[in-house]
Structure 1
């Protein structure tokens, strides 16, 4: 009779939990179906490289191991849970059959593996708690939700050990090295009778089952939904270059709007990103905006969009996101933007707020009383212009986190409030324009994300709606776009002055496509290299080196137009496509087959985005790639020493976007007398200079200047020269050095190479 009751209760409880789990997952699936459909090429995902990347990220935990300590911790828990699923089945069988077990060969070794795994998971959970509450790492959220997960995992492990221990007493099993932990516990509890041990075994057996099933139901309703969505998200990840943005069909007469003005304007894949987020904060920890006290936090970008999608989905489908629904009948979690500053924001009591930032050397973002405008507290001398100290670190994400937690919360109210929550404006209520325009599009967030989230594309979609549908853009940005439209450059300087830089090269002639119609390489100079006085030096140095090496090249001269990178990243897709089509027509007119440029932004746009619009069979290379080849082939002879200690700054659009890290470094290593010192944040982890995403043409109005922070990172290795392969980066770093009032030189790789080849630079 007891066994029948046991089986009945087991089936009912387990079946109900599985039903609730499936219902919660299904409701979120319905929410994602509200988004735009997106096509995937399944065949391209079955290639060896694609499969290798998938397994490397999902099962190799490659992204998590960027922080090796937390990476190892997560690997232990990840694989530990997989191993313990067999132990869970075995334990369930023991309870249902009164002592039976899985018919496995070498069962004793299986039992040993289970106990060791339980112990390792408990150690890993303890370390996770220490990182969160002992080290108090700012990017990690504090509060009852993270604590609940740690307690659930610990409880599952402890109930396993106690169940096994009481089983040993119940069946009078002798201690054994194959069950070391349960044997020790059973020895400590051997005063219990077998009848008592049996009762306690079933007590903890049921506790184990109920906690496990509670965790199952909790998974899709928490950040742990990533256990299901992350592998799918990684499988459906972008297969083309990260440097390629999705295009808009501007000829679509049925389109009611462009960009993302409502949560349902995002694609279903983008919505999958929302539910894949694990809230680890790695993206925010690396974001140049978050690091310098701006409003934007990539993690909160994703979680706020997720919360808003959940509210809108519940309102539009009539399906509650919370299961069991009756448990939340009078306390549905409704997300909203707070209208006023409160000492304890709704949903974030004081105990759950992150560390106080104090005066950490960055501008504090604060909520003014009764308003949502951001105000900046005066920046300390230590962060902006003085010495970097422990009290005044170079970067600090805590002010941004403080503002995010204060500005966005969860309000526990009734079901009817979903309607009000769903009516929040995506731009303005959910995402402020300050956040949207703070992004430098560096994609450091995406490089760090262990679940394959793509943040930049969402911000660009928000910008597209602002620019194309609302005509809303910061004044400096609007001026730059108007100048590009009228004169082909952000300054609005006459088109006829684009070629003037060539007259500054004494004794040498830079051929145009008219002078040399049989050219091999088209040198695309770009707006910076043509107009900016500092960047002109890079153009002259590179042209001089190509002439020395006998490269057959030409420039477009005054016919050259802006590449369109700036308009596209600022959301003006219409202007980008217009420039793209005009440039492609110009390239075809002159029979261009190879393009070389010193501008990584133009390089990325030509290489990754123009092919979609008709640029075919054209090789696009960066000037550091060409120079490296010329040096290796001996066409450029390094005759002169350049005695400098240089640190090289990786351009985002050259490095993370296109994987070019070694070419510039190889050039610098070959230069006699050159000592190369790497910054702590270099290569894939390099911090942005602050000029990307159109921010070159806009003022930073809050927090610390990004270029100053990056300059301070470079100065940590005590260089005499800071190098780069991007005119935008060089300008930002040179400005940073000037603000620090230091005698440190800033040079492009081409300029340094020119010194080694000729002994002097051309002025």
Structure 2
């Protein structure tokens, strides 16, 4: 192409790559300016998981159509980078790279161009024709689609003019796109000057679009192309858990998060990895019931506040942050951050995250169900900043909803959320003995049990949940399991205080409970509450507990497999199973309750559209069991999904879920045709034929 064009190429390329490097370096500095939190560590296990997510698109393919579209774009651009090297090299030297002159290489490149154009057309259809509510509709998404289309057209035109330049005028099955275009272009003119100028124009257009897109990537949500693989690489393995606070650190002036400076490196990386796909908001029970919370909105507002303070291309400081009180408002304001960019003034006053960026209504709307994190294709932890801001409100400022304050006071004083007298925690033992004629052994009756059964506040105090307690006690005895309960010595597990942000009360309860376990030499615990199960199994370990913990469905499934329980009585009913978030999403336990149901003769199981790890929350998690719920109730929405299956039983394996499902059935007026049961109650109906219902 000549010496002058060669020097121009070098100058343009250095300019584009230099701008890209400068912008990326600025964002890296912003990330590394965050507080280290110990999360960003490498391991072979994390590397394997990251590889599966990045190159296997495992999370993206949960939505098959969208996942396949992204798969085509991802691998298409990888393939076309080889073609871009060939185009640039050939334009500068008039020679092909090794292997690039093979017919299969041309066929691969041109097929990829067509597939990418089809993927872009589908993306435009989803966003602007179907108008999926979770996808922003601003000009920036359209710009990207136009940019990619123009890039593909420049590739096709460069290849077509190159064929004419080399005198390859015949049609070719191995170069179907370029040969067809070459034929059409030759109809316009076969003049050598026209062909040469056309080739150079297409070549420069391709290079300019390529470098322009390179510079644009770190300025947009497409920065996830670089940050998402890193995010997956540093994503912690195992069940997610809240990080403990060092409450004895006398140098700490506050706990939790309320300023940009409080954002950790891992959270900052999450913010830059966000792809703004809206999957998290689509899955969020609060967003789906008009509570004003959008996990995607949370991430983008924090990111753009960070950029504004970082004095790197960011939304206009004059642009107000949107506030929204409904799902419709949330989805309309998802594009607020993409409409105006400028160099911001970092000398402005430090914004308070709570109030200036995120409303308290948003913070308290979350049920901590992790549907957002489970659906996120880039491995973000949306809950981390949210729970840290709750901690700030409760521990540093002492602010919380009135119901939350009352609940925490009750737990502190009486070790249960209702404030019932602590000595009544063991009253269920007397009620059970009066009904069954035998007593459930306490730790004093059986000081060396195989299993300590943690009954929990719901199982001990709540009259409906006692039905599950009674059923499980009978099943354990029938199976010959050596077990005991703490009775009046049992305290609150600490789940509600921790999720509401009261880390101080949680740690007090945690250490007290662990001391009790040590005093009695407890190494194995079974519980009917998934929240307690997760807490003991994962979060108590940060405080020194290392015992084995099982959920009651896991233990019952094992007892059935060993033949120690024998379901005899057919249950000719149809059940749909509601999965507890803290069992399914937090700990991956989905098969145990289904194994129990499959062992019951005559029972049919009808799965909901959203089940297992994709199930919708009942609305009680994150301490919301004890808070007032404005607007549409989450449990009503979830119960409607259960009723759509036509099942006459709604199964659960969590006392919170059972309560919420029963209330949902009542609010739908479906008591005559549908009943909510714990799977242990249903199993007891089959194992003990004379009992139709426990409790």
TM-score bucket (shorter structure): over 0.9
Does 1:66 find its partner at 2:49? no
Cα 1:25–1:411, aligned 2, differ >3 Å: closer, same or farther? same
SS of the residue corresponding to residue 437 of structure 1 reads: helix
Where does structure 1 lack aligned partners over 5 or more consecutive residues? Answer: 315-319, 323-331, 340-371, 377-396
Q: State the alpha-carbon separation in 1 of the partners of residues 4 and 590 from structure 2.
A: 66
Q: Measure how far apart 1:468 and its partner are.
A: 0.5
Q: State the alpha-carbon separation in 1 of the partners of residues 339 and 675 from structure 2.
A: 54
What pairs up with 1:351-362 in 2 under 5 angstroms? Answer: none
Q: Measure how far apart 1:40 and its partner are.
A: 4.9
Q: Residue in 2 aligned with 1:29?
A: 28
Q: State the alpha-carbon separation in 2 of the partners of residues 429 and 492 from structure 1.
A: 35
Q: Residue in 2 aligned with 1:250?
A: 247
Among 485, 500, 505, the residue aligned to 2:412: 485
Name the stretch that deviates more: 189-198 or 429-438.
189-198
Cα 1:152–1:409, aligned 2, differ >3 Å: closer, same or farther? closer
Q: Measure how far apart 1:398 and its partner are.
A: 3.4
Does 1:108 find its partner at 2:100? no
CA displacement, residues 685-731 of structure 1 (integer Å, 9 cap, x when unaligned):
10000000000000112x31000000000001011110100000000
Where does structure 2 lack aligned partners over 5 or more consecutive residues? Answer: none
Does 1:185 find its partner at 2:181? yes
What pairs up with 1:117-136 in 2 under 5 angstroms? Answer: 117-136=112-131
CA displacement, residues 505-538 of structure 1 (integer Å, 9 cap, x when unaligned):
2212111111111211111000111111111111
Q: CA RMSD in A?
A: 1.7
Q: Measure how far apart 1:545 and its partner are.
A: 1.0
Q: Residue in 1 aligned with 2:473?
A: 543
Q: Residue in 2 aligned with 1:629?
A: 558
Contact 1:502/1:540, CA 8 A, preserved across alignment: no
Q: Measure how far apart 1:337 and its partner are.
A: 3.4
Q: Measure how far apart 1:87 and its partner are.
A: 0.5
Structure 1 residue ranges (4+ consecutive) displaced by more than 4 angstroms after TM superposition: 40-43, 408-418
Q: State the alpha-carbon separation in 2 of the partners of residues 90 and 469 from structure 1.
A: 60
Does 1:321 find its partner at 2:249? no
Q: State the alpha-carbon separation in 1 of the partners of residues 475 and 342 from structure 2.
A: 70
Contact 1:294/1:400, CA 8 A, preserved across alignment: no
Q: State the alpha-carbon separation in 1 of the partners of residues 584 and 627 from structure 2.
A: 23
Does 1:446 find its partner at 2:373? yes
SS of the residue corresponding to residue 257 of structure 2 reads: coil
SS of the residue corresponding to residue 296 of structure 2 reads: helix
CA displacement, residues 624-645 of structure 1 (integer Å, 9 cap, x when unaligned):
1111111222221212111211
Q: Residue in 1 aligned with 2:290?
A: 293
Q: State the alpha-carbon separation in 1 of the partners of residues 679 and 430 from structure 2.
A: 22
SS of the residue corresponding to residue 286 of structure 2 reads: helix
Does 1:710 find its partner at 2:643? no
Q: Residue in 2 aligned with 1:735?
A: 663
Q: Residue in 2 aligned with 1:46?
A: 44
Q: Measure how far apart 1:335 and its partner are.
A: 6.9
Contact 1:334/1:412, CA 8 A, preserved across alignment: no
What pairs up with 1:269-418 in 2 under 5 angstroms? Answer: 269-314=266-311, 320-321=312-313, 333-334=316-317, 336-338=319-321, 374=325, 397-402=327-332, 404-405=333-334, 409=337, 412=340, 415=343, 417-418=345-346
What pairs up with 1:599-638 in 2 under 5 angstroms? Answer: 599-616=529-546, 618-638=547-567
Q: Residue in 2 aligned with 1:361?
A: none
Q: Residue in 2 aligned with 1:496?
A: 423
Q: Measure how far apart 1:415 and its partner are.
A: 4.5
Q: Residue in 2 aligned with 1:57?
A: 53
SS of the residue corresponding to residue 59 of structure 1 reads: helix
Q: Residue in 2 aligned with 1:221?
A: 219
Q: Residue in 2 aligned with 1:79?
A: 75
CA displacement, residues 185-236 of structure 1 (integer Å, 9 cap, x when unaligned):
1111213311111001111111111111110000001000001000000000
Does 1:157 find its partner at 2:152? yes
- Corresponding residue pairs, total: 685
Contact 2:295/2:372, CA 8 A, preserved across alignment: yes
Instruction: Give the TM-score of the pair, scaled to structure 1.
Output: 0.87
SS of the residue corresponding to residue 687 of structure 2 reads: helix
Contact 1:651/1:725, CA 8 A, preserved across alignment: yes
Contact 1:649/1:724, CA 8 A, preserved across alignment: yes
Q: Measure how far apart 1:410 and its partner are.
A: 6.6
Does 1:17 find its partner at 2:13? no
CA displacement, residues 96-133 of structure 1 (integer Å, 9 cap, x when unaligned):
12x32212276221111111111111111111111111
Q: Measure how far apart 1:417 and its partner are.
A: 4.5
